[in-house]
């Protein structure tokens, strides 16, 4: 397999994985391209490489910037904007974990807390509902706390070991 074939396969695979993580395929493919690129790329470079429209590229670059994993940059003497990805895989994983918590886990915890706080009317169905939604809230809250500790305590030997295992 040559470089072009390997690069295309990586970008396609990263795009497919992205849909499993809750982001669209084009967004994941743009990230993959920027992640492996040794130099920042312009919007036109991304469009040409991935064969996607300007609107799709622009929208997804903006979302990647919002996630905090892609940055705008400039080149001296150029008017175009260029984009690059976070290259440190540990920092990338931490930022994605933070964003997933903010966008997915925190809103879910809020809903679970709200629905598990309904008035208990003494019926079996309400008791079971409260029991199960409280258990889900506790599990999700514990998982979020553990993930936040791992993300925020890189100096801890356990965290370093865990991050190595994730690599």
User: Domain residue spans in the chain?
Assistant: 3-85, 89-166
Q: What pLDDT, on the 0 to 100 scale, is given for residue 155?
A: 53
Q: Residue 3 CB: number of other CB atoms within 10 A? A: 7
Model confidence band, residue 42 (pLDDT cutoffs 50, 70, 90): very high
User: Residue 161: what pLDDT?
Assistant: 67
pTM score, whole prediction? 0.76
Buried b (16+ CB within 10 A) or exposed e, 136-147: bbeebeeebeeb
**C-alpha pair distances (Å), 51 with each of 47, 57, 120, 141, 145:** 5, 10, 56, 41, 40
Structural tokens at position 150: 């791992």
**DSSP class per residue in 73-118:** E--TT--S-EEEE---HHHHHHHHHHHHIIIIIHHHHHHHHHHHTS
> CB atoms < 10 A from the CB of 89, how many?
12
Per-residue pLDDT of 3-20, as tens digits, reads: 999 999 999 999 998 888
Class of domain 3-85: mainly alpha
pLDDT tens, residue by residue, 65-79: 999 999 999 888 888
Report the distance separating Cα 23 and Cα 15, nearest Å.
9
- Report residue 141 as tokens: 């809250």
């Amino acid at each position: 397999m040559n470089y072009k074939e390997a690069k295309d396969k990586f970008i396609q695979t990263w795009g497919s994985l992205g849909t499993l993580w809750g982001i669209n395929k084009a967004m994941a493919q743009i990230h993959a391209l920027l992640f492996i690129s040794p130099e920042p790329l312009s919007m036109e470079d991304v469009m040409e490489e991935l064969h996607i429209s300007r609107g799709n590229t622009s929208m997804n670059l903006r979302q990647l910037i919002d996630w905090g994993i892609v940055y705008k940059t400039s080149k001296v003497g150029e008017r175009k904007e260029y984009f690059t990805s976070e290259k440190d895989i540990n920092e990338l994983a931490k930022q994605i974990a933070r964003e997933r918590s903010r966008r997915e886990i925190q809103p879910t915890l809020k809903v679970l807390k709200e629905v598990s706080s309904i008035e208990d009317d003494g019926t079996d169905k309400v008791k079971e509902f409260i029991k199960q939604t409280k258990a889900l809230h506790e599990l999700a809250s514990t998982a979020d706390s553990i993930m936040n500790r791992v993300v925020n305590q890189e100096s801890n030997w356990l965290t370093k070991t865990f991050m190595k295992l994730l690599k």
